[in-house]
A and B are shown apart, each in its own frame.
Chain A
Amino acid sequence: MTPKKSDAEKLWFSGNEALALGAFEASVAVASGYPGTPSTEILENLSAYKSVYSEWAPNEKVALEVAIGASFAGVRALSTMKHVGLNVAADPLFTASYTGVRGGLVIVVADDPSMYSSQNEQDSRNYAYAAKLPMLEPADPGEAKEFLKLAYQISEQFDTPVLLRSCTRVAHVKGVVSKGEIQKSSVTPGLVRNPAQMVMLPAHARGRRIAIAERQQKLAEFAETWAENRVETGDRAMGIIAAGTSYLYAKEAFPNASFLKLGMVNPLPEKMIRDFASKVEALYIVEDLDPFIEMRVKAMGIACIGKEKIPAIGELSPSVVRKAITGETGGAIFAPVDLPPRPPNMCAGCPHRGLFYNLNRLKVFVSGDIGCYTLGALPPLSAMDACVCMGASIGMAHGMAKALGEDGLGKVVAVIGDSTFIHSGLNSLINTVYNKSYSTVIILDNRITAMTGQQPNPASGSTIMGEPANSIDFPELCRAIGVKHVRTVNPHDIESTYAVLKEEIERPEPSVVITRFPCVLTPAEKKRPKTSFTSITEKCTGCGMCLRLGCPAINWVPLSPEETKAMGKKEKQKGYALINETTCIGCGQCLALCKFEAISTGEGK
């Protein structure tokens, strides 16, 4: 049988593209976020819709505050971030719950179970409960778009910010999405003074606290009849309550079971759950990460099976769900083969590499931060010793300096990227100066937010909409804060970078070293004509110095004793280094390390 061609024109969209379309169709006027995998492409795609104002904010707190302001001004507003970003935005989030909204306000938060690109795997649903906010959870790109539009209706109808929980397998899954109608807000844009609702003085907040309780009650009633909380009656022997991607995995594993598919995970439809539970023999709660639904169902006094079987760590999948419930593995599976690992690596010609090579040489304790440069922790560079969250490097280095006193002088540095510094490193640098530290802060200025895929930031000189913008002058900024010693170096220049670092690290005062060179993936850098280097095998002694960079363009070629002899090399030489000319971009770092002139710059070729 061949499948039928669909008659309506359908779009093939990722969850993030679908959310951008949903925001457009919901007539969102202002959108602000901070890049973070897996949420980044929502705003990138939304910025292509010219009727929507989109921006990258310096951090998630600012982004949410921008969205709150836009909502107060009577337009629909969106804020996007990854799960850890919501921690940063938690302060405005909790009180925006009190103020409520004028124009609809939705916060899309993308979780990352299994930590494909994150430092933790927290479950954002807990924020919905803690901040007393409704949260919708779509399962795939098609639902993501529809749920975002529904979220705006709920937001305006119930006078509340709404959270929409995405995750890696919604954001970066592609599926069929249909275009829909443009939905208009019922709110008229403009400024309206309403201090009792918008000025959260304690006296006002006390009143709003009661309004929230009433709102929660109304939302709980609404959840009972909302169409996206639905029962799929199947075999009554097994009943499954699930939301989001967990529903898809459970449906795939148990296609004949009965389902209560929840589109809204907070508040929960208690009557609906009781009714469903009474009609099935065994009730399972299938959800990734925390027992969020399970705890509430158990608190209702309903017997169910949840985390005693379903893993609370890592993302679920059909096979994980099936195995957890039935113990079946689904047939013979080949065991994995032991292979050399292939972790991510900095690109060939990455400017960060030169810095980390030097930090390794200096044997300092490196207080690190979040970005591509976190890969500096991996061998052979092995030059990062701590990394916690965005912006933490500077504060931690200062804390270490205060803990160690004189003994720590010259032993600790903070390493932070340009975007991360602007995100939340700046306050810590102010603290370092104000509280008289001696730590050295290295700002890795590659002109862009690189790891999430080249998003411009306040130092890049352009906006998400592609317009020219102010570019922060880091040296001036640092001096204004009170840092007296600010040096800028080219990290590709290994030896002068080393000399500057050594001097500043030993200095008993706060200092900043800015390693400035554009990321190789920026459009301008990609276009810049480059000449790859070549290795001169006859001159290579196999000393291995260049391999200490861990550059993907340099490969070790092992030699047998016979081959060594045939090549006329010294007997003890075990191999030679070979530069891959298709990946090398001639950054020059290896040239500085080779003592045998075995690398040619390719000049004159």
Chain B
Amino acid sequence: MKQGNIHFCGVGGQGILLASELTAHALLAAGFDVKKSEVHGMAQRGGSVEAHLRFSTSKVYSPLIEPGTVDIMLAFEMMEAVRYLPLLNAKSTVIVNTQKIAPPAVATGKMVYPDQCLDALTSQGITVVPVDAFAIARKVGKLKAVNVALVGVLSRYLPMDEATWIEVIKKRLPAKILDVNLQAFHEGRKAGK
């Protein structure tokens, strides 16, 4: 893998930025040039959140992923995976946390959460890897570890070895939450591929 585009998406507050940070550091440790674009401010308040990560063995110019060029999507919520469909192509792999978070219009009963929404991806030939990261997080005893569990799944699809990832996680996470997160990473890795 000489270059790639990874798209992270989900709902503000799910730990998307941390997941993208860990991934960026693992890619940097492997010697890739990396650029990542995030959105802060008002958009973060429970809204749809995304991060674009691009890596290459040569220089990365644009920090933005072009439509139709995502190699791997790490979606923290099902409907959010579908929202960014225009970024995908038939060869994309979508790792998706099978969690449903109701947006305001659904939570107030004005609209319905789309049934079987991932069909919109599979019907285009896109490879979808569903993961119950919330169950993993519950199993390791820390609900907030959803993000690191998903990073564990993602690690299966990137060229770095396991040791590189573990080193990055150890370096980036505070000691008191390290063990549960390492467990979440391992469980995620087991769930992937």
Contacts and interface: CB of A to CB of B under 8 A. Distances in A.
Interface in A508-549: 544, 547
A582 B103 CA distance: 16
A430 interface: no
13 contacts: A1-B2, A3-B30, A116-B42, A173-B35, A318-B64, A319-B66, A330-B67, A333-B86, A337-B83, A339-B83, A344-B12, A544-B108, A555-B102
Contacts of A5: 31
B43 A117 contact: yes
A330 B65 CA distance: 13
B114 A339 contact: yes
Given A12-B24, A248-B61, A344-B46, A38 B40 contact: yes
Contact of B106 (A336, A340, A374, A452): A340
Contacts of A3: 30-33, 57
A582 B137 CA distance: 13
A248 B64 CA distance: 10
B127 interface: no
A372 B42 CA distance: 7
B62 A252 contact: yes
A463 B68 CA distance: 46
B107 A37 contact: no
Interface in B85-114: 85-86, 88-89, 102-114
B120 to A, nearest CB: 5
Given A37-B40, A452-B41, 17 more contacts: A3-B33, A12-B34, A168-B39, A317-B62, A330-B66, A332-B89, A340-B103, A343-B47, A343-B103, A344-B43, A344-B45, A345-B104, A374-B42, A547-B108, A550-B107, A552-B46, A558-B112
Contacts of A12: 24-25, 28, 34
Contact of A2 (B30, B38, B143): B30
A554 B107 CA distance: 7
A605 interface: no
A198 interface: no
Given A12-B24, A334-B88, A558-B109, A176 B41 contact: no
A305 interface: no
B47 to A, nearest CB: 4
A342 B62 contact: no
Nearest to A12: B28
Interface residues of A, number: 68
A4 B31 contact: yes
Contacts of B47: 342-345
Contacts of B108: 379-380, 544, 547, 550, 556
A172 B67 contact: no
Of residues A4, A175, A249, which shows the largest number of chain B Cβ atoms within 10 Å of its Cβ? A175
A544 B108 CA distance: 8
A337 B87 CA distance: 12
Interface of B: 2, 11-12, 24-25, 28, 30-48, 57, 60-64, 66-69, 79-80, 82-83, 85-86, 88-89, 102-114, 117, 120, 124, 143, 159
Interface string A377-414: 01110000000000000000000000000000000000
Given A174-B38, A340-B113, A375 B106 contact: no
Given A173-B63, A344-B12, A375-B45, A337 B80 contact: no
Interface string A126-163: 00000000000000100000000000000000000000
A131 to B, nearest CB: 27
Contacts of A372: 42, 45
A544 B109 contact: yes
Contacts of A14: 38
Contact of B63 (A6, A169, A341, A378): A169
Contacts of B37: 169, 172-174
A14 B40 CA distance: 12
A318 B25 CA distance: 25
**5 pairs of A and B residues whose beta carbons are closest in the complex:** A117-B41, A37-B41, A344-B47, A556-B109, A3-B31
Given A344-B12, A550-B108, A552-B104, A337 B82 contact: yes
A347 interface: yes
B43 A173 contact: no
Given A3-B30, A173-B63, A342 B42 contact: no
Contacts of B89: 331-332, 334
Given A340-B79, A544-B109, A558-B109, A116 B64 contact: no
A569 interface: no
Contact of B45 (A335, A346, A555, A558): A346
A582 B61 contact: no
B148 to A, nearest CB: 17
A575 interface: yes
Interface string A292-307: 0000000000000000
A251 interface: yes
